[in-house]
Structure 1
């Protein structure tokens, strides 16, 4: 596969072992990249890895990514949540290095009861040391903007600017763009030139080389609904055409696509991946 061709993969279940189960599922659905949890996504417990399973992922030809737990919130005014968020992301980065991951995806969080400025000062204080401690060959930390509900620190792509500034635009910092989140936050990807406008704004805000991963998800809800409800590719309000447009934007060249679409069996995920593979080579005319 060319370096300019975006691999298409999925967040995979790891029953049966992180490497054994994850790669088996990836093969069943035709995935060219994988994303995994390395601990409970809805808890703080930090699972130790199994060297044999780690090796299978590390030696796989597929690009690998880690998603940090959903509870992580560097903007939280609660000291316990903040401390556990730091520990959880440090663990995800360490485990990511052990399995050869290219990046660790983390939600950008919410200010909750604080002002945005207070929350971003907190982000700087606690996240910048994590980034500074990373060796050059460590996974990047990939910020994922949210759907815009509550006091989210990043939803629209322009809001990544202050977040990046708070972290001195660190070289180990990247972006994971979730299409459902962006659409829910108000970026109308389904409109004419909506994808181009959104990605051009992203590049203007954080730079041309910061987009490292795309979470490719359709949306059950309308643009601007601020609801994070994923749908299978082409079955939601985004539709197929915007995903084809994503592949054609220069900022996306070589950037992996990971689906996080509904379904508890391989079939819907295989269909979504097949759809994206078809759109990857679709004639723009």
Structure 2
């Protein structure tokens, strides 16, 4: 069965995200290690690091993951923004390494008018610089597929393939596939044939062996809308059948699958537990049918 988890808040302390994940029965968890909407952050104190590592070690959670700051843009043609992005990304990697995390998820960035080719070249340059400055780190950077809003890169599998095929640091990287994002980018998932076709394209261009983690989200917007709006499992345009297939796909039974779905419904009910239970039900039913 896949490793199910959710992105959880660190508002009450990094280590409390571990307890919150455990109370939800999660197998994995994703966090921010700082405020994702700010460039700067206080350094992690030795006490914070120790608390987090102890809590993680005492839990059953695997493949602990962080998502980096939304401000980072390694594709930017602006020299100042690019330099600031490199510095901030190095800090993100240092924080993830200090906490003993397995993965750091990042968006490729936006070319802001320079064009896809120039933007991808800039991203590759940035990843190589960051990894050179973080030599020997164990944490693996995962490039996240994107919905393609504005000039964002990563909404075509070809973009991801270009980065991983050309970057000298690719052996220290992998891919995070967000179901909402790929659907909004124009890759259908709803029917069995759509699902098989989309993952065949991914395998042909990128390789499913490079796919290390999923963000499991339905989409509030239509196929090909290139608008990033997450919905609860089975409550959006993708629908439940794609998620049934995903959680029972033999290729992905050991992959972390992390929710980034809305935390509450319109009535104010907490939804992480509901969505996790639905994914577990899909997986259990699939295993029972296979048996």
TM-score by length of 1: 0.91
Counterpart position of 2:127: 127
Q: Pick which of 188-197 and 62-71 moved more.
A: 188-197
Distance 1:51 1:184 in 2: 37
Relative distance call for 1:169 and 1:206 in structure 2 (3 A) is: farther
Distance 2:100 2:138 in 1: 8
Counterpart position of 2:25: 30
Counterpart position of 2:52: 54
Which one of 6, 11, 18 corresponds to residue 7 of structure 2? 11
Distance 1:276 1:131 in 2: 35
More helix by share: 2
Distance 2:20 2:52 in 1: 16
Relative distance call for 1:156 and 1:124 in structure 2 (3 A) is: closer
Deviation at 1:169, TM superposition (A): 6.6
Q: Does the aligned pair in 2 maintain the 1:34–1:65 contact within 8 Å?
A: yes
Q: Pick which of 28-37 and 104-113 moved more.
A: 28-37
Deviation at 1:148, TM superposition (A): 1.3
Counterpart position of 2:283: 280
CA RMSD in angstroms, aligned pairs only:
2.0
Relative distance call for 1:167 and 1:26 in structure 2 (3 A) is: same
**For structure 1, which runs of at least 5 residues remain unmatched after alignment?**
none
Deviation at 1:26, TM superposition (A): 1.1
Q: Does the aligned pair in 2 maintain the 1:66–1:105 contact within 8 Å?
A: yes
Distance 1:35 1:269 in 2: 13
Distance 1:138 1:215 in 2: 22
SS at match of 1:282: helix
Distance 1:81 1:218 in 2: 32
**CA deviation string 1:94-148 (max 9, x = no partner):** 1111222111000111111102222222122221132345455611100012101
Q: Does the aligned pair in 1 maintain the 2:120–2:159 contact within 8 Å?
A: no
Q: Does the aligned pair in 2 maintain the 1:25–1:266 contact within 8 Å?
A: no
TM-score by length of 2: 0.89
Q: Does the aligned pair in 1 maintain the 2:179–2:217 contact within 8 Å?
A: yes
Q: Pick which of 97-106 and 245-254 moved more.
A: 245-254
**For structure 2, which runs of at least 5 residues remain unmatched after alignment?**
none
